[in-house]
Amino acid sequence: MRFPKLGRVTLYILLIFFIFAFLLPLWTCITTSFKTLKGVIDTTPVEPPLGPLFRLPYPTMEPLITAFNIMKRSLLNSFTFTVAAMILSCLLGSINGYILTKITFKGSNTVFLFFTIGIFIPYQAVLVPLVLTMSKLGLYNHLGGLILTHTAYGIPITTLLFRNFYGLIPNSLIMAAKTDGAGTWTIYRRIVLPLSLPPFVVAAVFQFTSIWNDFLFGVVLTRGQNQPASVVLANLKGTTTVMWNLLMGGTLWYALPVLVIYLVLGKYLMRGYMAGAVKG
Amino acid sequence: MRFPSRKVFMKDWMVTSLFLLLSLVLVGYFVYVCIGWNVIVSLSDWKGLTPSYNIAGFDQYLSLFHDQVFLTSLKNNLILILLFVPGSLFLGLFLAILLDLKVRGEGAFRSIYLLPFALSFVITATLWAWMYNLDVGVINTLLEKIGLGFLRPMWVADPNIAMYCVVLALIWQFSGYTMLIFLGGIRSIPESQIRAAEVDGASGFDLYRYVVIPQLKAPALSAFIVLMVFALKAFDFIYILTGGGPGWSTYVLALMMFKETFRKNQFAYGGAIATILFLLALVIVVPYLYLSFRREKE
Amino acid sequence: MVSVTIKNLTKKYGETVAVKDLNLEIKDQEFFILLGPSGCGKTTTLLCIAGLLKPDEGEVWLGNELVSSSGRDMHVTPQKREVAMMFQDYAIYPHMTVFKNIAFPLEVRGKDKREIVERVTTTAKLLGISQLLDRKPKQLSGGQRQRVALGRAIVRKPRVFLLDEPLANLDAKLRVKTRTELKELQRKLGVTTVYVTHDQVEAMTMADRIIVQRDGVTEQIGTPDELYNRPANLFVAGFIGSPEMNFTDCTLIKDGKKLWLDAKEFKIPVPAEIVPKLESYVGEDVIMGIRPEDLYEREFVKEGTQKNAFRMTVDIIEHVGPYLLLYLRKGRLSLVARVKHTKAGVGQEASIEMDLSKIHLFDKKTTKAIL
Ligand SMILES: Nc1ncnc2c1ncn2[C@@H]1O[C@H](COP(=O)(O)OP(=O)(O)O)[C@@H](O)[C@H]1O
Ligand SMILES: [Mg+2]
């Protein structure tokens, strides 16, 4: 489409302006995390950590290293429960999606509605009972508790994603497998699952980022050693008022896995967003 | 002659449905039972660390409406609904239209605009705390560089503008998402229709105004619902950026609930806020789900 | 190999009645065809036999085994019916090679490796697709996919074949070739076959017996010969045969002892042997049908047929193989005649005769055949 009134030059100037606007916070985060404290004060945040005439010793790995030491335990925690809950919620969502699209039974629409509502609820409405339940189960302040929580609250969205995809698999394929003698479970394992790579990537990428990004469940279900990276970073922000380089270093570490995934698998994440999956 | 029973048919389906059952139990418990339980808590007199389920009726709800903090929170949620929601929709639509103009490297622009949305609120809130920092923060040092140092707004430290700073940052984070949704909508309009409109003499803004935008109702609606729900349940970002302050100028319902419950141990009181939050979300989501289910049936 | 019996089968989708009160007895080893325009419930019938749909009413028997019964509320799953179904879109598993596709029913049944390899190889040889076994479905042509689907159906020696429009997606030439091959294959394997098509030529050339369905209702069941020569009603008469049977409204009038069919443009005497059956229709409107090949040009009439000629204008002449199709007109009446020769040219008049022993008469109200 052409836009005669608006020159192409203006268009690109606008687009590039927005690039700056969208990347400015992230860029200053990177520059600052490589600066000494003196550098933070002497230079503006947008400047790279080089200092006037490249002479002052502003560039340093110090903040990143210190931040990593503060965060490494929590990063490992985050990684553990994120991967576990991602796998579990994707598997369950896939089976639900299969049942809801390929096995007709009375009330399948009701079941779907039952799951769908779970996508939209504000988690505040379940927090207290959730904490009490986890204490009862002995999973309070335990990675298992976070795995269970994120799996349970992930099921609605993964179910939606898989259901949308499985709606596109022709029913004749399933019927053929039935007359060929395959039972419900065999059909899932031998026909549906091998065709599910794309939705699994979409669901997994979405689940990984949203579980990794979570703060609320982490802050109410864990303390000390078992806290996820999000909570540790928030605490770091709460306790330092001047150590911006350290804080930005921590931010960078915590953002890194999602940034990598975004770079490599961003298009699948977009497909998830477009299919109606949105963070809580 | 053999008469295989109905059981044979059922058994096979039972094996698979065990998994469905597991999901139903998990979601049933963690969503529905927990919501119900929370409602019970909200009707009790539970204060302090030991649970108490003595029925106190709607006392908590009544006192909420005399609580200045609660009213401020409600007002701030309303600000989110009135500014953040349309702001994100319009900026997203604007970006989508820009990118629709046969832009070179469209994919790269799109990825960059969407990037903030993929990041954790913990990250974006920390970044915006840095942006808004008074002495060494990004915006103020930039202002100084261009000779506007005398302005030196207090940003999130100024109770009068803190909430608007929050709105600005959230628009920054969400407009990439609305852009993506709108762009998808624009791309699903058949090329032939655009051609036909061009032949009819529509071009530039007219083409968008009369042909493209009216067809974006469905994506606009789904983005609207997502933003509305977020405007209600916004928590992490504000909690980390301002902690609700200065004073309680940036309190929102979800944040107040969190502080009442987990910082002050006012469990019943927090439960009442959570219940109100849940009901508000239902008001938005239920009509939407009803509509989309009916559309799917057709 | 078993017979298939369907009793009072009814299947609804919500409000739509897809199949209504269907009764069928398909004999062991028979090649039985369900014929009808699309949407008439053919696929639904097959799915009920396969067990993929549960009938709302009625029973399905395979041999003397009851497999579906609404009365007893019982339903044997498709997995246990030992019938093979081939779907219109072939339903080939896209992620498996041809070999894996054909082997799938055997693997599911837990047959051992050696037997699987042997049976798949034999089947592939039988169908002439041995060289394709390592390919993925994406790399196959339409005809080859059809073979693979067929292979998957026959490899496990089912009791019944259910084929849903297996030739519909092939091009015309391949379709004709495959028709004969399929028929031959069925005879060789001796498996009871229920075959669905909307193409009456296909049905007439392949079937032992045919059921004609319309809107879920049975119109007629019979051999191709019966359907062609003794259609039970106007629908079957019109649906079967190409070019279509000619129809014209007539009144039966009595003139002394003789009965006449009066079509305004012409009047023909009713052959004496059928007069008794028509007595009750005297004075009534009926519909007369005559197939194009039962009309002749006078000069070429064979000996012995009852003569009664009338003159019609030739509008169009079409050459179809060894025949000529004459599109004839007289007043509001138009007829198509299939002849070997004609003396008349376009726009000229020809003297047309009909073979009176071949006329069909239908009750105008019920559309049922009178004769
Ligand atoms: N899954 C379904 N849901 C609702 N209606 C259906 C479904 N399948 C078929 N029908 C309807 O039932 C009737 C018979 O369909 P079908 O058995 O597929 O016909 P055929 O195979 O003869 O073309 C049609 O009117 C069709 O629209
Ligand atoms: Mg069909």
In a domain, C370, yes or no: no
Domain segments of chain B as ranges: 68-190+218-297
Are C57 and C146 within one domain? Answer: yes
In a domain, C300, yes or no: yes
What is the percentage of chain B residues whose pLDDT exceeds 90? 45
- DSSP for chain B reads -----HHHHHHHHHHHHHHHHHHHHHHIIIIIIHHHHHHHHHTB---SSS----B-TTHHHHHHTT-HHHHHHHHHHHHIIIIIHHHHHHHHHHHHHHHHTT-TTHHHHHHHHHHHHHS-HHHHHHHHHHHH-SSS-HHHHHHHHTT-TTT---GGGSTTTHHHHHHHHHHHHHHHHHHHHHHHHHHTS-HHHHHHHHHTT--HHHIIIIIIGGGGHHHHHHHHHHHHHHHHH--HHHHHHTTT-STTTT--HHHHHHIIIIIT--HHHHHHHHHHHHHHHHHHHHHHHHHHHHHHH-
Q: Ligand 2 centroid to C56 CA: how many Å?
A: 19
Are C281 and C203 within one domain? Answer: no
Closest protein CA for atom 21 of ligand 1: C43
Are C224 and C301 within one domain? Answer: no
Q: Once rounded to an integer, what is the mean pLDDT over residues A23-42? A: 84
* CATH code of the domain in which C271 resides: 2.40.50.140
Q: Ligand 1 centroid to B74 CA: how many Å?
A: 53
What are the φ and ψ backbone dihedral angles of C63, each rounded to 5 degrees?
60, -130
If you measure CA to CA, which chain B residue comes closest to A93?
B23
Are C27 and C98 within one domain? Answer: yes
Residue B3 has what pLDDT? Answer: 38
Residue B6 has what pLDDT? Answer: 45
Are C63 and C196 within one domain? Answer: yes
Are C197 and C287 within one domain? Answer: no
Q: Complex ipTM, two decimals?
A: 0.90
Q: Nearest CA to CA, how far is A185 from chain C (Å)?
A: 11
State the alpha helices, DSSP H only, in A103-121.
Answer: 108-120
Residue A58 has what pLDDT? Answer: 67
Higher pLDDT, A40 or C131: C131
Q: Which of C196, C211, C239 is the last residue of a domain?
A: C239
pTM for this model (two decimals): 0.88
Residue A253 has what pLDDT? Answer: 94
The per-residue pLDDT for range B31-78, each reduced to its tens digit, is 999 999 999 988 888 887 777 777 777 888 888 888 899 999 999 999
| Residue A61: C-alpha distances to residues B85, B139, C220 (Å) | 40, 25, 88
Q: Which of C184, C205, C239 is the last residue of a domain?
A: C239
Q: Which domain holds residue C63?
A: 4-239
What is the percentage of chain C residues whose pLDDT exceeds 70? 97
In a domain, C296, yes or no: yes
Q: Which of C218, C239, C260 is the last residue of a domain?
A: C239
Q: Nearest CA to CA, how far is A243 from chain B (Å)?
A: 11
Q: Is B68-190+218-297 CATH 2.30.130.10? A: no
The per-residue pLDDT for range B202-220, each reduced to its tens digit, is 777 778 888 888 888 888 9
If you measure CA to CA, which chain C residue comes closest to A180?
C105
Q: Is A68-274 CATH 3.40.1350.10? A: no
Check CB contact under 8 Å for A258 and B236: no
Are C210 and C101 within one domain? Answer: yes
Are C94 and C225 within one domain? Answer: yes
Contacts B33 to A, Cβ<8 Å:
129
Ligand 1 mutation target, pool C17, C44, C88, most atoms within 8 A of CB: C44
Residue A280 has what pLDDT? Answer: 47
Check CB contact under 8 Å for C74 and B5: yes
The per-residue pLDDT for range A55-94, each reduced to its tens digit, is 555 677 888 888 888 889 999 999 999 999 999 999 999 9
Q: Which of A180, A184, A191 to mutate to test binding with chain C, by most C CBs within 10 Å of its CB? A: A180
Nearest neighbour of B12 by CB, restricted to C65, C66, C77: C77
Is the pLDDT assigned to residue B120 strictly greater than 90? yes
Are C122 and C88 within one domain? Answer: yes
Query: Does ligand 1 have an atom closer than 6 angstroms to the CB of C48?
Result: no
Report the number of distinct structural domains present in chain C: 2
Q: Which atom of ligand 1 is nearest to the CA of C42?
A: 22
Q: What is the mean pLDDT of chain A?
A: 87
The per-residue pLDDT for range C308-346, each reduced to its tens digit, is 677 888 888 888 888 888 898 888 888 898 988 888 888
Nearest neighbour of C84 by CB, restricted to A177, A179, A190: A179
What are the φ and ψ backbone dihedral angles of B2, each rounded to 5 degrees?
-120, 145
Contacts B196 to A, Cβ<8 Å:
none
Q: Nearest CA to CA, how far is C85 from chain A (Å)?
A: 7
The per-residue pLDDT for range C212-227, each reduced to its tens digit, is 999 888 999 999 999 9
Q: Is C91 on the interface with A (CB under 8 A)?
A: yes
Are C269 and C227 within one domain? Answer: no
Are C63 and C170 within one domain? Answer: yes
Nearest neighbour of C93 by CB, restricted to A175, A186, A191: A191
Are C303 and C192 within one domain? Answer: no
Chains that touch A (3 or more CB pairs under 8 A): B, C
In a domain, C371, yes or no: no
Check CB contact under 8 Å for B1 and C66: yes
